[in-house]
A = this chain, B = another copy of it.
C-alpha cells in the first residue's frame, strides 16, 4: 500500500536528518536560546522582509494556532474564519477551550472574502459594540486552505485592509505554506505575508521537517510576553535548537520551496490523469491536495493499492477522496498511480 492520504507520513528530508546527525554531539542552550534558532529567525525575517518582526518555533500547528490566538485576544474577543477552517473543525475546539467564540463564515472553495468579513464586523459596530456581543478581533485564514486552494494577492490585500480598518489581527495558518508558494498560478510571496499579515507561520511538519512550525510576528510590537504564553501551554520545546536547525536547513538553500513545488506538480499530474478519465474534482486545487470524486467501484479499485483520505459520500454512487502528495512522494509512486488511474 502506498500512502497518498496526507503529507505527514514520512520522517524528514534527508538534509534535516543529516543536520541532526552532525549536531548531535554539540551542547546547546535550552528553550530556544541558541544559535540555530537565531540563524533561522534571521533567515526567515529576511525572506519575509520584515526585519522588525519576531519568530517563534512551535512543535505543532494546533499549538501555533490556539496559543497565538489566545495570546493576541482579550477575553471578550472572537475569531472570524471560514466554516471549514482547521481551528473550527479539526482541533477539538481548542479556540473555544481558551475562551473565545469562533464566528464561522460560509466558505467558497475553502476561502472567505473581505466583504464577508466586513459584513460581520459591521454587525458588531452597528450594535454600538453591545455588551452582549464579542468583538471580532482576529481573522484566521489558511494558505493553502483545507481544500488546497489559494488566496490571490488581491484577495489577501483586501482582507488585510479590512483587518486594519477595524483593528483586527490577520493570522495566516501556513501549515502548508510551501505547497501554496510553489503552486502554479500563485502570486503571493513570503514577503507579501510579512507585509499583509500580523502573524503567519511557515509549516515544517508537512513540508520536510520531522516536526515544527515557524511562527512570524510581523511586527515585534504585538509581542506581549509571547513566550510566556507559549510556556504556559507547554509550547516551548526544551531542546529548541532542534526546531531552529530544521528550519534553517530546509530554508537556507531553497530545499523547502523545491520539495513542496515538486509535490504540487505531482498532484497536478495525478489530477490530469483523473480528468483524462472524465473523473472530476470537488474543488479545483493547484496544490498538493486533490479532492477527487470517484464512483464506489473506482474508489475500491484504487484503494486496493493506495491509501487516500475518505472525505465522505457525494451521492449514492460516489465518494470524495483526498489524494495528497507530499515533499516525500517519489516520482515512481506518482507514475504508478497515474498508470492505475488511466487503467480504471
Q: Looking at the complex, which of A106-114, A125-133, A150-158, A165-173 is the stretch in contact with chain B? A: A125-133
Chain B residue numbers with a CB within 8 Å of A11 are 20, 23-26, 239, 242
8 Å CB contact of A234 from B9, B62, B100: B62
Cβ-based interface call for A94 (8 A): yes
B242 in contact with A76 (CB, 8 Å): no
Closest B-chain residue to A23, C-beta based? Answer: B11
In chain A, positions 135-174 with a C-beta closer than 8 Å to chain B are: 135
Complex-state Cα separation, A233 to B205, whole angstroms: 17
**With known contacts A27-B3, A71-B75, A237–B59 Cβ distance under 8 A:** yes
B59 in contact with A59 (CB, 8 Å): yes
**With known contacts A27-B9, A129-B225, A132-B90, A235–B234 Cβ distance under 8 A:** yes
Chain B residue numbers with a CB within 8 Å of A12 are 24
**With known contacts A10-B25, A30-B9, A99-B97, A234–B231 Cβ distance under 8 A:** no
Cβ-based interface call for A211 (8 A): yes
Chain B residue numbers with a CB within 8 Å of A230 are 131
Interface residues as binary, A215-248 with B (CB distance below 8 Å gives 1, 0 otherwise): 0000000001101111111111111001000000
How many chain copies does the complex carry? Answer: 4
Cβ-based interface call for A28 (8 A): yes
Cβ-based interface call for A290 (8 A): no
Chain B residue numbers with a CB within 8 Å of A90 are 132
How many whole Å from A123's CB to the nearest CB in chain B? 10
In chain A, positions 10-42 with a C-beta closer than 8 Å to chain B are: 10-12, 14, 17, 20-21, 23-31
Complex-state Cα separation, A23 to B17, whole angstroms: 11
* 3 closest cross-chain pairs (CB), A and B: A62-B234, A63-B234, A93-B101
> 14 extra interchain contacts, Cβ-Cβ under 8 A, other than A9-B28, A66-B234, A71-B75?
A10-B25, A11-B23, A17-B20, A20-B20, A60-B234, A74-B224, A76-B229, A92-B132, A96-B99, A131-B228, A131-B230, A131-B231, A135-B225, A210-B239
